[in-house]
Structure 1
Amino acid sequence: MWPFVLESPGGFSAPPQPLDWVVYLHGFRSSSRSVKAQKTIDAFAQVGLGDRLWVPDLPASPAQALALVEDELRIRLHNNPRLRLGFVGSSLGGFYATVLGERHLNARVALLNPAVKPYDDLQDQMGRQAVYFSDEEIEFVPAYLDELRAMETTQLTRADRYFLVAATGDEVLSVAAMVARYPGAHQLRVQGSDHALSHFDEQLPFVRLFLGLA
C-alpha cells in the first residue's frame, strides 16, 4: 500500500446523502473504458446507484467536450433545478472538472492527478493519436490549445468542495503544481504511485466517501 498524507480543512466527510448525478471525465487519449472509470462505475453499481453516474467518451476538442457535458446538464437541471452534482476528473478531465465546478457552484469535485495547464502540457501531442482502451484515434490540433486557454478558471469558489488526489510519483504532470492549484481543498497526497494511479483501489474509498457512496 502506498503511504499517503490527507489534509482536510474542516474535516473530511461525506455529504448527507449520495449525490444525485455525477459525471466522470476521463483524461487525454483515454476513454470510458479506462481502469479508473470502470472502477468508479463498479463503485456506483455496488451500492445500487449506477444510474447516477455518467461516463461519456469525450471529443478531442475541449470546447466540444464541455458542450457535450453542459448540454446534458442543462436537460437534467431543467427537470430538477435542485440537482446535487458531482464531477470526477482524471488528468485532462480534472481540468474540465474544475471548469465545470466553477460553473456549477453546488457541485462536489474530485480530481485524480489533474492537469493544471494542459495548454502547455499538450503542445507536443499534435496530430493523430491512438486512444487508450480503444481501437479509435483522435486528431488533436493547435486550435484546441486555445480552447483550453479560453475556458481556464483561476479562482476556486469554496475550495472545500474540491478533493485532490495527487501522486508524488506522477511521471507526466507536476504534483507541486497540482497542490499549489488547489489551496484550501481536501488533499490526499499519495507518496509514490504514478500518473495512472495504478493502485486506484487504495484511493477509491476516499473518493467514494467524498461522493457519499460509503
Structure 2
Amino acid sequence: MNNKVVYLHGFGSSSGSDKARLTAEYFAKHYPHIEFTALDYPYDPAAALALIQQNIGNRRDVALIGSSLGGFLATCIAEQIQCRACLINPAVMPHQVLSQHLGRYYHPVLQQHFDVTAEHMQVLQQIMPLQLHQPENYLVLLQSGDEVLNYRLALDYYKGAQIKLTEGGDHSYVGYAAELDAIAHFCQLA
C-alpha cells in the first residue's frame, strides 16, 4: 500500500496545470489521508531528479504520476526505487524531441527563466533507463492523436506494462479526469 503520491508535470508545464489541478482535487476529495504533492521542479534534468528524490526521501510507500517529460522522470525514479508509476503520454527518448526546443523559457509557478541546453539533452540521454526491470509497475495512458510525441515509441518501450491506448485525443490527454479512478486504483493506495 502506498501513502504518498507525487505528480510530475511535463515540459513547460507546472503544478498549476489542468491535469495537476484535477489530480490534486481528486485526491483531496477521495483520498484525503494520502499525502499528495504536485511538484514544481527545475528543467535541468539532473536537478529535477535530485529534487524529486529529495521529496521522496527514503520512502518506498510512494506512487508517481507523470505526464510527458514528467512521465520520463517518473520512469527514471520508479526504476531506481521499484515503485508504481502512472504515465500519461510519457516522453520516450526526450532528448530527441527536446533538442528541437533549445533556448530560454519562463516557469510560471517558480517565476524564473530557465534555459534548455544541449548539455541537458546529453543528461536526458544518459539517465534514460535502457530497459524496464519491472514493467508491471507501470500504467501507461496513451492517445494516438498526441501531436507532440509518437505514441508508438511508448508502446514499444513500455512493453509488458499495463497500457491503455485511446484513439484520437491529443498530447494533453483528452478526458484525463475520467482516468483518475483507474490511476488511483493502480497506485495501490492505503
Scaled by the length of structure 2, the TM-score of the pair is 0.92
Q: C-alpha displacement at 1:118, in angstroms?
A: 0.5
Tell me, which stretches of 5 or more residues in structure 1 are unaligned?
1-16
Q: C-alpha displacement at 1:193, in angstroms?
A: 0.7
Q: C-alpha displacement at 1:141, in angstroms?
A: 1.5
1:121 to 97, 101, 115: 97
1:52 aligns with 2:35: yes
Name the CA distance, whole Å, in 2 between partners of 1:33 and 1:187: 26
Q: C-alpha displacement at 1:135, in angstroms?
A: 6.0
Equivalences for residues 50-199 of structure 1 within 5 A:
52-74=35-57, 77=58, 83-105=60-82, 107-131=83-107, 136-199=112-175
- Give 3-state SS (helix, strand or coil) of 2:10's partner: coil
Counterpart position of 1:9:
none
Q: C-alpha displacement at 1:73, in angstroms?
A: 2.2
Counterpart position of 1:33:
16
1:210–1:51 Cα change, 3 Å: closer
Name the CA distance, whole Å, in 1 between partners of 2:54 and 2:85: 19
Q: C-alpha displacement at 1:125, in angstroms?
A: 1.0
- Counterpart of 1:152, as a letter, is M
For this pair of structures, how many residues does the alignment match? Answer: 190
1:104–1:134 Cα change, 3 Å: closer
- Give 3-state SS (helix, strand or coil) of 2:99's partner: coil
Q: C-alpha displacement at 1:52, in angstroms?
A: 1.1
Taking only aligned residues, the RMSD between alpha carbons, in angstroms, comes to 2.0
**Alpha-carbon displacement from aligned partner over 1:56-109 (angstroms, at most 9, x marks no partner):** 1110100000000112222xx2xxx5x41111110001110111011001x111
1:131–1:72 Cα change, 3 Å: closer
Identity of aligned residues (%): 33
Counterpart position of 1:205:
181
Name the CA distance, whole Å, in 1 between partners of 2:111 and 2:168: 31
- After TM superposition, the runs of 4+ consecutive aligned structure 1 residues lying more than 3 A away are 130-137
Q: Report if aligned partners of 1:93, 1:114 keep a CA contact under 8 Å in 2.
A: yes
Q: Which moved more, 1:115-124 or 1:146-155?
A: 146-155
Name the CA distance, whole Å, in 2 between partners of 1:133 and 1:171: 25
Counterpart position of 1:6:
none
Larger radius of gyration: 1
